[in-house]
Amino acid sequence: MVTRNGLADPGLLGVTAGGGLAAVLMLWLAPQAGPVAIQLTASVGALLTFLAVVALAGGATPVRVVLVGIGAAAALQAITTVVVLSLDPWDTAAVQTWLAGSTYGRAAQDLAPVAVTLLVTGVLLLVNHRTLDLLAVGEDQPTVLGVRTNRARWLILAAAALLAAAAISAAGTVGFVGLVAPHVARRLVGAGHKWVIPLSILLGAVLLGLADTIGRSVIAPAQIPAGLVVALVGTPVFALLIAHRRRHV
């Protein structure tokens, strides 16, 4: 509802790329770092990236923040590639696994940051679901009804950044979940955020769980990172979404 583009996803803010680079730098500078240190570093990197993108955008419209985020993501991904190429071969496998998005070695306590962030931001968004519905309509109607559109959009961007940072800390840079789940949810229950938000959460969890199960089963005892499986599924879904939008334009 910030860009009013149905194919937008949280990765446009550059948060995912920032969290990935932070985790890679930690693995490079401190190869013996444990999962907790890597998770905290990824979260801090993601949030710092969001703040940097907002600062570079000069406090302008959220659409400009997204444009700056796209550029920042490209630059951060390039830096990440350079760092990965500089790693010792022994560390490269661990880094690539993390960047691909994997649940390998994760335990229940690793879900705590995601659970807390999801609870707080989820409740906040659900309480303001009517505002989200109005923002998705356009500029004029929310303003007429007394909605402070700029403040609301900044809160949405901040919530997206926090959620992305928490997800990165738990499972690495998993792509396409934030793109596929909300749009499938809209196809099932309509555009009302009262139902889209909880269904998106459920579909995202189911999608990642299925991807993880497939990745652990196809070439067992070896496994394919869940992020790669999600990308393989998400690419055709993304193409179908674009084709559907073209037919209805």
Statement: residue 191 has pLDDT above 60: yes
Taking only the tens place, the pLDDT of each residue in 120-135 is 888 888 888 887 777 7
- Distance, in Å, from the CA atom of 17 to the CA atom of 69, rounded to the nearest integer, reads 10
Q: What is the pLDDT of residues 96-122, one digit of tens each?
A: 777 777 777 677 777 777 788 888 888
Helix H or strand E segment including 35:
helix 35-56
Place of tokens 């496998």: 93
User: Please, what is the end-to-end C-alpha distance for the chain in angstroms?
Assistant: 18
pLDDT of residue 223: 78
The domains located in the chain, with CATH, are 10-247 (1.10.3470.10)
Hey, is 57 helix, strand or coil? Answer: coil
Instruction: Indicate yes or no: pTM above 0.75.
Output: no
The reported pLDDT for the residue numbered 142 is 61
